[in-house]
Amino acid sequence: MGAAAAACPVVYPPGPRRTARDIAVMTRRNLRHTVRLPGVLLLSLVMPVVFVLMFSSVFGGAVAQALPPAAAGKYVNWLVPGLLAQFALFGGAGTAAGLADDLDKGSIDRFRSLPMARVAVLAGRTLSDLVRSALTLTLMVVVGFAIGFRWQTDPLGLLAGIGVALVFGYAWSWVMAVVGLLVRTAEAVQGAVYIVVFPLGFTSAVFVPTQTMPSWLQPFATHQPVTVTANAVRGLILGPEALPKGDTVAGQV
C-alpha cells in the first residue's frame, strides 16, 4: 500500500502565478508562430484594408442617403466602426484553425504531457489572437482615417469603441476554440466557421442600416450579436445619434 502510494504521488494543480506564467509562455509561442508564417500575418493585415477600400467605394454612394446624421454624410464614418465589429468576429476563425492545427500535428498531446496548467493552451491561443486582432483593428482605423473617416466624439470614445470590439472578439474566440477542439482539422474548421461567421457578418448592420433590409430579415439582423456590437461601437465613436431610435450606448454595450 505504501509502495503504491509512493509510486503514484499526488499532483496538485498549479497556483495562480504558475498558471499566469504558463499562459504567457503559450501566448508568446503562438505569436512567434504567427510571425514565422508571413503569409498568414500578411493576409490578416491586408484583408481589413481591402474591405475598407472596397466597400467604401462600392456602397458609399448608394447607402449615404440612408445613414443617420451622426455619420456626417460620409459612408466611411458608418463603415469603419461596423468593420471593427466584423473583423473582431473574423478573428475567431484563426483561433479555431490554430487549435485544430495543433491537434492535427499532435502538439496538444505533447502539451498535455508537460507539467503545465491545462488552461494555458486555450488561454494562450485566445490571447495571442487578441493581440493580432488589436493590430488589425488599429490598421483599419488608420486606413479609414486616410480616406476620410473621422470620429465624432473624442479620442477616448474611439479607444472605447475599439475596446468593445476587442472584448466581443475575445469572447467569440472562446466559442471558436470549442469548435476547433471538436472539429480537429484545419480544413474542416474553415467550412464550419464560415458557415456561422459569414451569415452573422453580412446579415448585420455592419454595411447598411437594418431598416433597409427586407422585413422578414430585420428582426434577426437587428438583434444578432454582430449588429449589437456594431451599434455599441458606433455609439461610442460617432455618438448616440448613430444608434437606432430608442437605443442608448449603455444599452448596446
Q: What angle do CA 92, 96, 98 make, to 5 degrees?
A: 110
Residue 151 lies in a domain: yes
Residue 3 lies in a domain: no
Residue 133 lies in a domain: yes
Q: Which domain holds residue 179?
A: 14-252
Confidence check: pLDDT of 141 > 90: yes
- Residue 210 DSSP code: G
Domain count, the chain: 1
Residue 58 lies in a domain: yes
Residue 97 lies in a domain: yes
Least confident range of 22-31, 57-66, 100-109, 145-154: 57-66
pTM (2 d.p.): 0.86
Residue 72 lies in a domain: yes
Which run of H or E residues covers position 121? Answer: helix 119-146
Phi-psi region of 12 (alpha: psi -120 to 50; beta: other; left: phi over 0): beta
Residue 219 lies in a domain: yes
Integer-rounded Cα radius of gyration of the chain:
21
**pLDDT tens readout for residues 35-93:** 887 777 788 788 888 888 888 887 766 676 667 666 666 888 889 999 999 999 988 88
